[in-house]
């Protein structure tokens, strides 16, 4: 499975805000009883609007079963 350098760059750039954000926080994606490594699997992006801000969350493909894993997240404010 080939992951483009651009995708890896986007994941790296957004990870801090997505997983440690102060407004919205995504849970670490998992499927088939495993945590999904976002640098080793295809990732789609899902935008969520909170007030006037738009946040981009990760929708990775499970390397085990091939299912796209919807983001679990919470809004903190």
DSSP letter string, 13-73:
HHHHHHHH-SSEEEPPPEETTEE--TTSS-EEEEEEEETTEEEEEEEEBPTTT--B-PPPE
Q: Which domain holds residue 18?
A: 5-75
Specify the number of domains making up the chain: 1
Q: Note the pLDDT tens digit of each residue in 10-21.
A: 999 999 999 999
Determine the Cα–Cα distance for residues 55 and 46; give it in Å rounded to an integer: 8
**Could you report the per-residue pLDDT of 15-44, keeping only the tens digit for each?**
999 999 999 999 999 999 999 999 999 999
pTM of the shown model: 0.88
Cα–Cα distance, 51 to 41 (Å, whole number): 31
């Amino acid at each position: 499975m080939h992951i483009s350098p651009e995708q890896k760059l986007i994941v790296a750039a957004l990870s801090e805000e997505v997983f440690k954000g102060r407004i919205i926080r995504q849970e670490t994606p998992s499927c088939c009883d495993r945590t999904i490594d976002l640098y080793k699997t295809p990732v789609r992006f899902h935008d969520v609007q909170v007030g006037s801000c738009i946040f981009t969350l990760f929708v990775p493909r499970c390397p085990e079963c091939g299912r796209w894993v919807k983001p679990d997240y919470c809004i903190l404010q």
